[in-house]
Homo-oligomer: A and B are copies of this chain.
Amino acid sequence: MSRQKPRLARIADALGVSTATVSNALSGKGRVSPELAERIRATAAELGYVPSVAGRALRTGRSGVLGLVLADISNPLFPKLAQAIENSAAKVGYGILIADSHGDVTAQTQAIERLIERGVDGMIVVPRRGTWVTGASCPVAVIDSPSTPGNTVAADHWSGGQGLGLHLYSLGHKHVLLLGNSTASNVQNDRLGGVKAGLGSAKVETIWIEKLEAQSGQGCSLGLAEAVARGVTAIAAISDLVALRALTELQRAGIAVPEDVSVTGFDDLIWSSVITPGLTTMRMDVATIADIAIAAVLDAINQPHVAGSRGTDGDTVIASQPKVPMELVVRQSTGPARKSAYPNDNKTDNLTAGELIQ
């Protein structure tokens, strides 16, 4: 029972052929007669042959591994994305090495360097907002936003937003509050821009939470009850996470969703369907995005004339920007706009928006 780790040569010896022939047979290069190839495959399987990735990598100069850099690995979307990318990579015979960058820019650069040192053939980067991917000496696909220069592939956040806006508009909402985090994010600007477009003639207010919290402190009230009192009948949040914050703040204030106000998110995170009411949201097609990103990197790897251009140490970021459609998921958190002013509150429309609202 005691057998050594079998090498290519063992198969060759067992059959009395050369290692070259075994290699050719196994890689299906076709330079071997079908019968012999079949016998070789059989013997390899029988011996439990597992090719040495190190040997192959050293000879071919390819590691068969791609790096994945998530700006913020604690991003709730990470699981889905990592899963999708690992799947897409596995389909084409690649492995995925992860690198964490703590959401911090210098760490992102270090993470990229670490991956290079590990010999990755290319990488996929989901950068931190407003960050440039730089200094990678291998092909890099960037998943950010269609409006980001250097972006490789991304969800069509703008159209997704538009879909959400149309959904709300068709439910009769004429006064909508938008909840964003940071104006520095292309993704966020795309999303909210789309929502506005979809909302057409409806009245729109926007709150940027980062700004609000800079003044009123982390975790402060979003002033949602006041907004509802002011006539807002729907709240479109930049993400499910923000939508959740809004939802619980509303419920805590005794405001019913969707009867008094509708709420929407973005991302369709795992818990979006579990909460009460279920959250209406816009889902990214991560599988397609992953497929395109992987395909782009592989293309670049197999086109040395680009990456191999000597004279510059510059980036090899792949810039082509297919937009992958998003999918509207309607759940119970959205419904028809209430006809009357907020029932528990008489002072309607006579409140000013306040200095924090644009």
Chain A residues in the interface with B (C-beta under 8 A): 1-2, 50-55, 57-58, 63-65, 68, 73-76, 78-80, 82-83, 86-87, 90, 95-100, 102, 114-119, 219, 241, 244-245, 247-249, 251-252, 254, 270-271, 273-278, 310-313
In the complex, what distance in Å separates the CA atom of A90 from the CA atom of B69?
Answer: 14
A97 touches B97 (CB 8 A): yes
One of B97, B117, B275, B312 near A96 (C-beta < 8 A): B97
B96 touches A83 (CB 8 A): no
B87 touches A244 (CB 8 A): no
A272 to nearest B CB, angstroms? 10
Instruction: Work out how many copies of this chain go into the complex.
Output: 2
One of B53, B82, B119, B245 near A73 (C-beta < 8 A): B82
Interface centre among A55, A83, A96, A273 (most CB of B within 10 A): A83
Interface centre among A73, A245, A247 (most CB of B within 10 A): A73
Known: A65-B118, A244-B271, A271-B241. A2 touches B310 (CB 8 A): yes
A265 to nearest B CB, angstroms? 12
A182 to nearest B CB, angstroms? 15
Interface centre among A244, A275, A310 (most CB of B within 10 A): A275
Chain B residue with the shortest CB-CB distance to A118? B95
B-chain residues with CB within 8 Å of residue A1 when the two chains form the complex: 310-313
Known: A58-B58, A96-B98, A118-B95. A274 touches B219 (CB 8 A): yes
In the complex, what distance in Å separates the CA atom of A311 from the CA atom of B65?
Answer: 33
B73 touches A63 (CB 8 A): no
In the complex, what distance in Å separates the CA atom of A274 from the CA atom of B240?
Answer: 12
A310 to nearest B CB, angstroms? 4
A290 to nearest B CB, angstroms? 11
B98 touches A114 (CB 8 A): no
Task: Give me 9 A-to-B residue pairs in the complex whose CB atoms sit less than 8 angstroms apart, sorted by A's number.
Answer: A54-B63, A55-B58, A74-B83, A76-B271, A219-B278, A248-B275, A248-B276, A248-B277, A249-B276
A125 to nearest B CB, angstroms? 15
In the complex, what distance in Å separates the CA atom of A74 from the CA atom of B119?
Answer: 28
In the complex, what distance in Å separates the CA atom of A270 from the CA atom of B116?
Answer: 30
B-chain residues with CB within 8 Å of residue A95 when the two chains form the complex: 97, 114-115, 118
A274 touches B245 (CB 8 A): yes
Chain B residue with the shortest CB-CB distance to A332? B252
Chain B residue with the shortest CB-CB distance to A67? B95
A76 touches B74 (CB 8 A): no
B-chain residues with CB within 8 Å of residue A96 when the two chains form the complex: 97-98
In the complex, what distance in Å separates the CA atom of A327 from the CA atom of B273?
Answer: 29
One of B86, B119, B312 near A53 (C-beta < 8 A): B119
B-chain residues with CB within 8 Å of residue A64 when the two chains form the complex: 118
